[in-house]
Amino acid sequence: MKLTATFPTDNAEAALARIDTIADPALFITRVPPDAVRARAAALVEEGPRDRPLWGRTFVVKDNIDAAGLPTTAACPDSAYTPAADSPAVARLLAAGAILLGKVNLDQFATGLVGVRSPHGTPRNAVVHTHVPGGSSSGSASAVAAGIADFSLGTDTAGSGRIPAGAQELVGFKPSLGLVPTRGVVPACRSLDCVSVFARGIEDAAAVLEAIAGADAEDPYSRAAPRAWSARGTAPPHLTLAVPEDAQLLFDTPDDAARFAAAIARFESLGARIIRVDIAPLLAVARRLYDGAWVAERTEALLDRVRHAPDTLHPVTRSILEGGLHRRTVDAFADFHQAAQARLHARRIMAGTAALLLPTYPGLPTLEAVAADPIGANSRLGTYTNFVNLCDLSALAIPNGRRADGVPCGITLVGATFAEGTLAGLAATFANEPFDAPARPDEVELFCIGAHMSGLPLNSQVLGHGGRFLRAATTAPEYRLFDMGNRPGMLRVATNGAAITGEIWALPAASIGPFLAEIPPPLGFARVRLSDGTTPLGFIAEPAGVAGLPDISASGGWRAHLATRPRA
């Protein structure tokens, strides 16, 4: 999006005109008056960008998120209140220079994945009008997919920030629990709720997430990310992705299955190694989300309304919430123990892979199908999303083409806690949307030449210290490489040097010392001269430590040498 001196006013006018063109009566619950939108844009023009990353960008928020002066209804008019302050997420977007257009529709009290459970009607799916828009963040997705807003905020408890993204060919970023404060958000399941981001591009979604991330001292569920956290990353050239076993994959049509198979093939063509994993424990705990302790948690958040004003609730929402009145504490502890076991299983999957690759949903239902079976269709939509927050994982949903009938398909990359940067890098590579993610001031570049490179046995050490891949690189022709058995040793020489290939990784500056302490002699860190003239830290061997060892410089690098070395 090209920035000009008048970008905020031009962009705001385009958004206002698009609202009129789309004319979806079920989209907005409350709009910011057009004159107020124009005044905000004019003020931004007068102030100038001031290094604000979202200067002049337009956005909407799901109407369970507080924006000062605008009613928060959660799609239940009887529960409306007008907050005096913005939620932290909205406040941070405004501070970043964004322009709020209004509050949009949702499945009432964020209970649902279909997007049709609202007294205000169903926002149109901007891609295929005959199908559901996805929920519960229906309006958040529709406003972006229809070209009204540059991005939007939704919430995600069981998939509400991912299902609508898949349904309307958007990027849906579901952050780790607590990364974005949920203070000022009407709770669904307070312990699982996340504020999520919808955008049309991966880099835009990452920029928005970086703007709203950060701990909040007033939010008991908020937590700080690691010092080196970023929502932007670069996918390493050699990685492993986990994919569920075939028997655990559920699809509505052969086309849905074919699109997921194509996504796997695409990652393989990019150099990824695919391993099949058992996700049965994850699917099992997911089934408890709407049939266990977390139903009672939803009910607790709205207990007074469920008991004393049930007629103000949408019929399907009411039936779900009333079910929580009868849950027993003894059963809740069984749920908590199974969730803990599922989290352990998820951590084991993530320990050896960059991400778990999933379909976003088995298939997107029509509006007619949901009307005929509202509970069943909703449950099926959440097949691959319901367990993610229960297991304290991060996730990023991206488009994956369309079926032959034009219905969108999507894939979701699921990562470890605070792995948002890795997911963004993987998604950008898959979508051929690479973006720049250079080392930050608090990071140090490290040139890796051996088993610490991506996909090799010691790369877990780099990752464990918060490392993230930046780029492939080659030294100036001033070095010799030696085979030390399970790793190489590189030595700078005065004559007969060779160029050695490797990888540049960014590590938090505070991690360099602890990482060096793990490196056995005769290896250490020293400045290495690269072919572009830069001199990052890199692995260097002591001359005595490689004396008499096989010289493998002719291979050009450790990975090439491994490909030709006889296997033991």
Give the catalytic positions in this structure. Answer: 62, 136, 160
Residue 234 corresponds to which amino acid? T
The CA distance from 456 to 549, in Å, is 21
The sign of the torsion formed by the CA atoms of 430, 432, 433, 437 equals positive
Paired with 154 in beta bridges are 196
Q: Which residue has the tokens 């993530």?
A: 350
Residues in contact with 424: Cβ distance below 8 Å, sequence separation at least 6, in sequence order: 173, 202, 203, 205, 206, 231, 232, 233, 396
CB contact at 8 A, 115 and 122: yes
Total count of residues recorded for the chain: 568
**Closest C-alpha among 81, 78, 54 to residue 66:** 81
Q: Which residue has the tokens 């695409």?
A: 266
The CA distance from 505 to 523, in Å, is 18
The CA distance from 556 to 568, in Å, is 22
CB contact at 8 A, 273 and 239: yes
Determine the 3-state secondary structure of 50 from DSSP.
coil
**Closest C-alpha among 193, 175, 178 to residue 223:** 178
Paired with 336 in beta bridges are none
Which tokens sit at 365?
A: 């239902």
The CA distance from 139 to 122, in Å, is 8
CA atoms in the 13 A half-sphere facing the CB of 364: 33
The CA distance from 295 to 289, in Å, is 7
